[in-house]
């Protein structure tokens, strides 16, 4: 979690908010591909581990600020939300889980496709963003066992 928070802080420190945003998404998705336990840690709460939760909160604050700066710079689409970062991570985790040895290359392709959808220029209206509560339920709610519909 500290590495995740540090990545967000480094991205925020980049003088070019768009560059920082892109590098952040690329970095955290590569972290997922390199450590298959990373997505689980991101999606879990650790109420008895204040250092972990403090790092998560630091990362969240940096990401919110990074998104705001990239929007203010006019480069990131105006309807991008912090919850969209979670959806990107969820999609990337799915690619990684399903592709074995090809995971890193396919993850990089997914990230490139996603980042091409993020610029403000030429953006088309998206469906409404999920709320924080909806994302919490999606991340922590019951999951169907593998192999079921």
Q: Please write the tens of the pLDDT for every residue from 98-148.
A: 988 888 899 999 999 999 999 988 777 767 777 777 776 766 665 544 444
- Quick: pLDDT tens for 49-105: 688 888 889 999 999 999 999 999 999 999 999 999 989 998 999 999 898 888 889
Whole-number pLDDT of residue 149: 41
Closest by alpha carbon to 59, among 132, 3, 8, 135? 8
Measured between alpha carbons, how far is 54 from 60 in angstroms, rounded to an integer? 10
Angstrom distance (rounded) from CA 121 to CA 77: 7
Q: What is the mean pLDDT of the chain?
A: 84
The C-alpha atoms of residue 49 and residue 33 are separated, in whole angstroms, by 25
Q: How far apart are CA 21 and CA 107, in angstroms?
A: 17
Q: Which domains does the chain have, with CATH numbers?
A: 2-140 (1.10.357)
Which pLDDT belongs to residue 148?
45
């Amino acid at each position: 979690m500290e590495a995740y928070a540090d990545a967000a802080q480094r991205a925020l420190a980049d003088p070019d908010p768009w560059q920082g945003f892109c590098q952040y998404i690329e970095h955290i998705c590569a972290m997922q591909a390199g450590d298959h336990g990373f997505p689980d840690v991101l999606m879990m709460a650790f109420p008895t581990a204040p250092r972990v939760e403090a790092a998560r909160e630091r990362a969240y604050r940096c990401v919110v600020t990074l998104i705001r700066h990239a929007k203010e710079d006019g480069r990131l689409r105006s309807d991008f939300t912090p919850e969209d970062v979670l959806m990107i991570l969820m999609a990337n985790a799915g690619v990684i889980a399903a592709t074995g040895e090809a995971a890193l290359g396919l993850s990089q392709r997914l990230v490139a496709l996603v980042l091409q959808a993020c610029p403000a220029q030429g953006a088309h209206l998206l469906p409404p963003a999920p709320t924080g509560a909806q994302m919490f339920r999606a991340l922590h709610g019951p999951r169907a066992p593998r192999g079921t519909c």
